[in-house]
C-alpha cells in the first residue's frame, strides 16, 4: 500500500543517546545511532522504499523524562523541538512532529506544548512515560493531580497525546538474571499498559472526554487483557474514581498503532476489541525495520477498506492532515 502514514518514528540528539540499554540491545549500534541522528536522507529513502508518505517524528526515550532537574528538562525539550521544527521545515510534505515536553514542571509543559502546536505547527505530543522529578528514580505518573491543567490544555488544543514506553525505574528484583525482558521485549509494554490503566481509572477521561491518547505496539497488550481488568474491578471496585469501564475508555479515548507488533492474529484481535477506526499504522523506526512493518501490513489478510483506514485515513482524520482547510496534505503516491 502506498501513501501510508507512520507516527511512532524516532530521532535523537547526541545527548539523548546516553542510555546503555540501547547499546545492549542493538549490536549494530553505530548504524542505529546514525539512523536516529539522521532527519532526512536515510529516513526518506526508507519511507520511499516502503510506501510511507508521511512520518510524525518524536524524540526517542527516555530523554527528557529521565532528567530530574527541571531546568535541564525544560532546556532539552525546547532544543529538541527546535531541531525537529527546523528539519520539518525542509520537508513539511513528508514530516510532522510530536513535541517533547518537560513534564517535571506542568506549567512549563503547558507553555512548551502550546508553543509547539501554535507556533511550530506540531501535531501533538509524545511523552516517554513517567517523569523523574527532583531526584533520580522519583517517578511521577501522568494521573497525578498536578497534571490536570496540562490535560485541560491538551483537550483545548485538540491534539493527540502519545504515551510512549520507558523502562520502570526499579528493575533490579523482577528482571534480575533476565535482562532480555527489559526494554521492548516486555518491560516497556508492562510499564506503559499500567500507566494507561492509571489514566483511565483516575477519571481523567470523565473530566476531559475529548482527550485522545495514542499507544504503540497494538495497545501494549491492553486489547487482550482489558476484559479481565474490568471483570475483576467490577467484583471489588474499592472506590475507583472512573465512572465507566476501562474498555469504554480504550475504545473511545485511545488509538493504538501497529508499531513493532507485526502479527496478524494480534491485529485482528485488536480490530475486534477497539475497532479498525482506532488503529494506526506505524513502524517504530529505526528500532524496527520498515521493510518488515510494511511488507507485513501490506499483505495482512484484512479488507482493503480496513487497510486504507489503518494505513492512512485514520491518521489523516486524527491529525487533520487532509482537506482544503488544512496546512498539510499527505501525498498518496
Cα end-to-end span (Å), the chain: 9
Q: Choosing from 284, 295, 298, 306, which is the catalytic residue?
A: 284
Cα–Cα distance between 60 and 100 in angstroms, integer? 9
266-303 b/e (C-beta count within 10 Å ≥ 16 → b): bbeebbebbebebbbbbbbbbbbbbeebbeebeebebe
**DSSP H or E segment with residue 59:** strand 52-59
78 is written with which cell numbers?
525546547
Closest CA to 39 of 65, 73, 69, 9: 9
Does the annotation mark 284 as catalytic?
yes
Cα 228 from Cα 26, distance rounded (Å) = 35
Burial class, 84, CB count within 10 angstroms (exposed 0-12 / middle 13-18 / buried 19+): buried
The catalytic site residues sit at 284
Amino acid at each position: 500500500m502506498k501513501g501510508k502514514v507512520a507516527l511512532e518514528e524516532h530521532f535523537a540528539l547526541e545527548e539523548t543517546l546516553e542510555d546503555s540499554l540501547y547499546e545492549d540491545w542493538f549490536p549494530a549500534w553505530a548504524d542505529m545511532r546514525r539512523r536516529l541522528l539522521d532527519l532526512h536522507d536515510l529516513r526518506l529513502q526508507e519511507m520511499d522504499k516502503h510506501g510511507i508518505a508521511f512520518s510524525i517524528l518524536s524524540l526517542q526515550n527516555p530523554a527528557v523524562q529521565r532528567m530530574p532537574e527541571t531546568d535541564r528538562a525544560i532546556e532539552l525539550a525546547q532544543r529538541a523541538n527546535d531541531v525537529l521544527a527546523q528539519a520539518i521545515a525542509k520537508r513539511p510534505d513528508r514530516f510532522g512532529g510530536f513535541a517533547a515536553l518537560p513534564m517535571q514542571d506542568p506549567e512549563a509543559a503547558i507553555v512548551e506544548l502550546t508553543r509547539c502546536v501554535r507556533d511550530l505547527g506540531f501535531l501533538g505530543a509524545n511523552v516517554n512515560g513517567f517523569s523523574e522529578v527532583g531526584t533520580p528514580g522519583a517517578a511521577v505518573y501522568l494521573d497525578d493531580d498536578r497534571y490536570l491543567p496540562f490535560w485541560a490544555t491538551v483537550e483545548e488544543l485538540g491534539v493527540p497525546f502519545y504515551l510512549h514506553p520507558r523502562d520502570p525505574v526499579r528493575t533490579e528484583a523482577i528482571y534480575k538474571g533476565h535482562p532480555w525482558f527489559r526494554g521492548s521485549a516486555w518491560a516497556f509494554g508492562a510499564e506503559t499498559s499500567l500507566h494507561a490503566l492509571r489514566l483511565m481509572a483516575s477519571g481523567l477521561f470523565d473530566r476531559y472526554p475529548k482527550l485522545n491518547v495514542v499507544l504503540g505496539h497494538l495497545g501494549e497488550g491492553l486489547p487482550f487483557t482489558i476484559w479481565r481488568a474490568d471483570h475483576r474491578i467490577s467484583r471489588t471496585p474499592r472506590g475507583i474514581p472512573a465512572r465507566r469501564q476501562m474498555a469504554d475508555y480504550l475504545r473511545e479515548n485511545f488509538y493504538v498503532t501497529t508499531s513493532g507488533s507485526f502479527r496478524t492474529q494480534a491485529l485482528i484481535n485488536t480490530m475486534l476489541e477497539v475497532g479498525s477506526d482506532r488503529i494506526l499504522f506505524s513502524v517504530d523506526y529505526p528500532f524496527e525495520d520498515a521493510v518488515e512493518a510494511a511488507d507485513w501490513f501490506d499483505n495482512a489478510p484484512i479488507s482493503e477498506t480496513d487497510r486504507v483506514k489503518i494505513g492512512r485515513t485514520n491518521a489523516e482524520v486524527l491529525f487533520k492532515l487532509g482537506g482544503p482547510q488544512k496546512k498539510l496534505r499527505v501525498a498518496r503516491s
